[in-house]
A and B are shown apart, each in its own frame.
Chain A
Amino acid sequence: MSREKLERLGLQLPLFPTTSVGSFPKPDYLVRARADFAKGKITAHQLRDLERKATAFWIETQENLGVDVLVDGEMSRGDMVAYFAERLPGFTEGGLVRAYGNRYYHKPIITGEVSWPGPVIVESWQFAQSLTKKPVKGMLTGAYTIMDWSFNEHYPDRRSTAMALAAVIRKEVEALIGAGCKIVQIDEPALSVRSEELPIALEAMERTTKDLDGYFITHACYGEFDHIYPGMLDLAVDNFDLEMSNSDLDLLEIFRRHPFTKDISFGVVDVHSHRMEALEAVRERVEKALTILPKEIIWIDPDCGLKTRTVEQAIEKLRLCVEAAKSFR
């Protein structure tokens, strides 16, 4: 584990630190408020107050559950790429495209040079951190994923697009660290979709985090990791947050073939199912992890963001993570 780094950053974490991937479900009043805001029925200020109320609820909930490294729950975000695209110069909102089934989203279009307009999430991170003494992660989407999930009408190719975005995300990381954030999560769920482009993703992350004094996590999911492993271990982060349970811990087999050399946030509950795992089943997943991974590198969390679950289900899934982790300490 990058214990030394965490300690140097002033962070004392127990064995099997618990955290979550990022998003939590929005309470009903916030869902209604976001719809009202879209229709012009409430002001941005009114919406922000409700987002803060929901953030405070989730910070308090995580503290009560005993989670070690908290998140703000992304109460002001919808889509993880569109949120940044709406705030960064160089992007235009695209028309609706389908994600799956009857779910659609506005896929952003890069129509000009992307640039950093000043801090994007620093204020919301500061607010969340002000509510707790426990560390709150700063949550960003990585350059490669923003590139891959946007249309590009400006840059000549995918690499130059990713590098331009890396320069922008780096500035946001610098601003977060400057504000006191010590753990920054830079999500790259698109990491494995084009294995031949892994060098681009590696270079983009290197440019994003190089020589910055923070503990960096990246979350990736829905991937064919066997195609990019062990090369993905060169990503310039300290911790990979991986969806393990949804794939029946298949990834452990590839870790057996080549040692996993980073810390791992090990997903122990399936976020795509409302079914609540038994504590013993969650413990078994951790035990299986321990047959291959040293205990010092393992963090415990859900597979992915919990935003698609109900508030009650999300809390129960988190509670399972915490109880399982504590039972191994």
Chain B
Amino acid sequence: MSLAPNPKLPGLHLASTGSYPRIGDGSELQILRRATASLDRGERNTADLLDAEHEMTRLAIADQLSAGLEVITDGQIRWYDPISHIASKLANVKTAGLQRYFDTNFYFRQPVITGTPKRSDALVAKDFSFARNALGHLPTPKNLAGKLSIKPVLTGPYTLAKFSLSAHTGNGAVDPFSSLEARTLAYAEAIAAEIVALAQIGASFIQIDEPAIIKYPEDWKIFEKAVSQLTAARDKSAAEGRRTELALYAYFHDPAPLYEKFITLPVDIIGLDFTYNPKLADLVASIGSPKPLGLGLVDGRNTKLEDAGEIARQIERLLPKIQGGCAYINPSCGLEYLPRDRAFAKLQLLDKIRAVVGA
């Protein structure tokens, strides 16, 4: 497959890929750590913790804004980890021991499904509302007026299911969640409900993170079914006049073997991690994309700052092959894996890259 070059170059936007460090080296950036530790010791209450989360969220948004990003997240400051933060808010899911998160040296609490996972309350919708309000209270740089949006992030149903266990007790009854497909589709229903809720309160983009699918491509059919449930929720909202775009992001592995399948998914944007395969850019340049891409060319896992000119040259090569009117420059993954000063430098780099592309 090879798509024709796009006669009109897409607009280039700067976007966050999700997380942002919730701690820095200065004392003022350690309020959340202190509040959490104090709460654990019983010296403070959950309201104190909430205050600290609010403040660190405001700071994460302020950093993104000052670096020139247009598509901003809340930094996922409140997330214990990408798996249990979502799964543990669902009814009939509890969490268990720590597991390593992909090839990072970061650990998540493994969900255990005890019954049908059900959305009984907002997963990230309240956080989205807070972030949008916080952004509204910051002075908007002139060049960004009318261009800013908050993008809520949800871990996708397949990745949640892949890292979940079933708590079936083995009492003779059939375990309804022993299969990956059953777990995935149950989570998909809950995530679909959250998409509807987010669309209802005005989220114009929603990022769905599915890093596990590029590590376990053999599960594509299950993954595809789950994506269909999510896009059906998006379409239902659109039919009711609440349009939102789904951005599917995959990282922490080489997406090249699945690239042609990714671009045929019915989502609106595909975000790819370019750091695992230096030839991925060649593949994208040769095949093209019928829809906007999130270009994860800036490494969100290493402190070394890339050369803006080199990345800009890659983007210039890709842009004519990207259809759908726009493309996004974003880090390869969330920036929580970097120290805060380096994470901010990576955000600033995005703007420098765009300036070179523009020049």
Residues of A within 8 A of B (CB): 94-102, 104, 107, 109, 148-149, 151-153, 190, 193-194, 222-223, 246, 272
Task: Say whether A98 contacts B106, CB under 8 Å.
Answer: yes
A98 surroundings in chain B (CB, below 8 A): 21-23, 106, 336
Task: Say whether A104 contacts B33, CB under 8 Å.
Answer: yes
A133 to B336, CA, bound (A): 47
Instruction: Count contacts on B: residues with CB < 8 A to the other chain.
Output: 31
A188 to B100, CA, bound (A): 14
Shortest C-beta distance, B28 to chain A (Å), equals 13
Known: A98-B23, A102-B40. A272 touches B342 (CB 8 A): no
Task: Say whether A222 contacts B100, CB under 8 Å.
Answer: yes
Residues of B within 8 A of A (CB): 21-25, 33, 36-37, 40, 80-81, 97-100, 102-103, 105-108, 302-304, 336-342
A222 surroundings in chain B (CB, below 8 A): 98-100, 107
- CB pairs A–B below 8 angstroms (22 shown): A95-B25, A96-B25, A97-B337, A98-B22, A99-B105, A99-B106, A100-B81, A100-B98, A100-B106, A100-B108, A101-B80, A101-B81, A104-B33, A148-B103, A148-B105, A151-B303, A153-B302, A153-B304, A193-B103, A222-B99, A223-B100, A272-B98
Interface centre among A96, A99, A109, A194, by most B CB within 10 Å? A96
B303 surroundings in chain A (CB, below 8 A): 94, 109, 151, 153
Known: A107-B339, A193-B100. A102 touches B36 (CB 8 A): yes
A149 surroundings in chain B (CB, below 8 A): 105
Q: A101-B81, A102-B40 are in contact. List 5 more A-B contacts (CB 8 A).
A: A97-B336, A99-B107, A151-B338, A153-B303, A222-B99
A223 surroundings in chain B (CB, below 8 A): 100
Task: Say whether B338 contacts A152, CB under 8 Å.
Answer: no
A272 surroundings in chain B (CB, below 8 A): 97-98
**Which residue from chain A places its CB closest to the CB of B40 in the assembled complex?**
A102
Task: Say whether A95 contacts B37, CB under 8 Å.
Answer: no
Task: Say whether B302 contacts A96, CB under 8 Å.
Answer: no
A109 to B81, CA, bound (A): 24
Task: Say whether A246 contacts B97, CB under 8 Å.
Answer: yes
A107 to B80, CA, bound (A): 19
B336 surroundings in chain A (CB, below 8 A): 97-98
Known: A102-B37, A102-B40, A109-B303. A193 touches B22 (CB 8 A): no
A316 to B342, CA, bound (A): 44
A95 to B105, CA, bound (A): 15
Shortest C-beta distance, A201 to chain B (Å), equals 12
What are the 10 A-B residue pairs with the smallest beta carbon separation, nearest first?
A: A95-B339, A100-B107, A193-B103, A151-B303, A153-B304, A102-B36, A222-B100, A194-B103, A96-B23, A149-B105
**Which residue from chain A places its CB closest to the CB of B108 in the assembled complex?**
A100
Shortest C-beta distance, A248 to chain B (Å), equals 11
**Which residue from chain B places its CB closest to the CB of A154 in the assembled complex?**
B304
A222 to B105, CA, bound (A): 10
Interface centre among B99, B107, B108, by most A CB within 10 Å? B107
A100 to B95, CA, bound (A): 14
